[in-house]
Chains A and B, each alone.
Chain A
């Protein structure tokens, strides 16, 4: 499954990083602790978080995640958006909470 497929299926907003929409998804990781994501996420996962600042993109790009979903309707900061465009890592958004969007993504990826 590609990033563009989950956007449609989960009704996600695309903030930036459109060039990366055909990235392949291998799984997901839900966490708001950057060192946890740094240590435990894997390449190709979708990272689900409520963090909106630029360091999120630094972690995402070092770990080569497929995309980031910002939950609960939070808006990414401008620096985050710019770096997402530079790195071609899509920054997505939803009004859902982390629990719900994680569950729905899990279901999509495992069916």
Chain B
């Protein structure tokens, strides 16, 4: 099963839309609630990063009986130093975004903790691709 969601940069009102839709699907498939939580935490953080840091993006979620694979692809500034971005507390979020309670620099670390596999590739000035895989019986 494949699902696609569009993400608009800057549109915080819609942030979490894809994570909430995927949560419903996984619930219907009777996936272990603890695994569902891990998937939606990672997906939500990826989705919000597109909203907060990029211009627009597209999320593809591919679900088979053993795992969910999620690809979050955006057009945006890209990440110049991925190792630095992965560090807890590192953030380039604007002051407006910080006032809303984003910008703790915890999103990427949350993704790493909650996905079985996380792969990030980025092209500065073009965009970022984040791939997450989580197995259902992990």
- Of all chain B residues, the one with the shortest Cβ separation from A43 is B37
List which A9-48 residues lie within 8 A (CB) of chain B: 32-36, 38-39, 43
- Of all chain A residues, the one with the shortest Cβ separation from B114 is A39
Do the beta carbons of B41 and A38 come within 8 Å of each other? yes
Minimum Cβ distance to chain B for residue A43 (Å): 7
The CA of A59 and the CA of B13, in the complex, are separated in Å by: 12
Do the beta carbons of B12 and A55 come within 8 Å of each other? yes
Do the beta carbons of B104 and A33 come within 8 Å of each other? yes
Most chain B C-beta atoms within 10 Å of own C-beta, residue among A34, A35, A61, A79: A35
Do the beta carbons of A34 and B19 come within 8 Å of each other? no
Most chain A C-beta atoms within 10 Å of own C-beta, residue among B106, B107, B113: B106
Interface of A is mostly: helix
Give the residue of A36, A49, A58, A64 whose beta carbon is less than 8 angstroms from that of B44.
Answer: A58
Do the beta carbons of A38 and B15 come within 8 Å of each other? no
The CA of A64 and the CA of B33, in the complex, are separated in Å by: 11
- Known contacts A38-B45, A62-B41, A63-B37; A55 and B16 CB within 8 A of each other: yes
Minimum Cβ distance to chain A for residue B17 (Å): 8
Report if A2 contacts B (CB, 8 A).
no
The CA of A111 and the CA of B63, in the complex, are separated in Å by: 45
Interface size class of A (residues with CB under 8 A): 20 to 34
Report if A104 contacts B (CB, 8 A).
no
Report if B65 contacts A (CB, 8 A).
no
Give the residue of A32, A35, A51, A62 whose beta carbon is less than 8 angstroms from that of B16.
Answer: A62
- Known contacts A51-B100, A59-B44; A39 and B16 CB within 8 A of each other: no
- Of all chain A residues, the one with the shortest Cβ separation from B41 is A38
Residues in chain B near residue A63, CB distance under 8 A:
37, 41
Which B residues contact A (CB, under 8 angstroms)?
12-13, 15-16, 19-20, 23, 37, 40-41, 44-45, 48, 100-102, 104-107, 109-110, 113-114
New A-B pairs, 12, CB < 8 Å, besides A33-B106, A35-B104, A62-B20: A33-B104, A36-B104, A38-B41, A39-B110, A49-B101, A54-B12, A55-B16, A55-B101, A56-B101, A58-B44, A59-B44, A62-B44
Which A residues contact B (CB, under 8 angstroms)?
32-36, 38-39, 43, 49, 51, 53-56, 58-59, 61-64, 79
